[in-house]
Amino acid sequence: MSIIYDWFENPKRREEEETTLHVRPCFNGTVSTKTLVRCIQERCSLTSGDVLAVLTELNDVLGNELREGRQVHIAGLGYFAPTLTVEGRVTPDMPLRERNRKVRFKGVSFRMDKELRQSIGPTRMAMTRWESHSQVSTAQEQKRKLTEYFSQHDFLTRRDLQFLLGLKKSTAVSLLRQWRQAGLLLNKGTDRQPIYVPAPGCFGR
């Protein structure tokens, strides 16, 4: 199986700047802990319970060491290290005490060992055949498509909007929230199962 990928636009710093793209993998599913335990158990003399116990303790020990600000090296796997960020804007003339209050834990970085890279071996790549991210559309195009949609349909669901505009679920949810707050759409369903209709005077109604 190949590593599936798709192309995404890089944000522009200036309006006249040329549009450039970056590539991002589209993951071929997720391997669960249960599957991982079974795969490891089949390769050694440990029981599934032993493997699960080791993974559980590894998680606890790794978390404790990272919380103490230490980098952790697992031979053959790689290096885990805590990363930091700042909340808001920080300038050189800002008092040190105020700067320090803005420091936050960000996450964990990982740098793999050469043994792990070698175990991955040769890789094949293939571009996805499906739309994996939201298509770019202007507000005018969105309004036009929704006006056409509501000329033939009485209501709109989140899934309908995803299909209509080629959006990810999170983008569709965000747009529906914006349009409701702007008074363009009304929810005639429930909070758990919303059904949207145009507000009077909107989208051709």
Q: Check: pTM over 0.75? Answer yes or no.
A: no
Domain boundaries, the chain: 30-123, 139-198
Q: Which CATH architecture has domain 30-123?
A: Irregular (4.10)
Cα separation, 79 vs 136, whole angstroms = 38
pLDDT tier, 22 (very low <50, low <70, confident <90, very high otherwise): confident
Listed in sequence order, the residues at least 6 apart from 72 whose beta carbon sits closer than 8 Å to its beta carbon are 62, 65, 66, 79, 80, 81
Listed in sequence order, the residues at least 6 apart from 44 whose beta carbon sits closer than 8 Å to its beta carbon are 51
Return mean pLDDT, the chain.
88
Residue 86: per-residue pLDDT: 92
Give the DSSP H or E segment for 145: helix 139-150
Domain 139-198 indexed as CATH 1.10.10.10: yes
Q: Which one has a higher pLDDT value, 28 or 49? A: 49
Listed in sequence order, the residues at least 6 apart from 173 whose beta carbon sits closer than 8 Å to its beta carbon are 158
Is pLDDT at 26 greater than 80 in this prediction?
Answer: no
Fold identical between 30-123 and 139-198? no
| DSSP per-residue codes, 31-46 | --HHHHHHHHHTTSS-
pLDDT tier, 129 (very low <50, low <70, confident <90, very high otherwise): low
Is pLDDT at 205 greater than 80 in this prediction?
Answer: no
Q: What are the pLDDT digits (tens) for 55-114?
A: 999 999 999 999 999 999 999 999 999 999 999 889 999 999 999 999 999 999 999 999
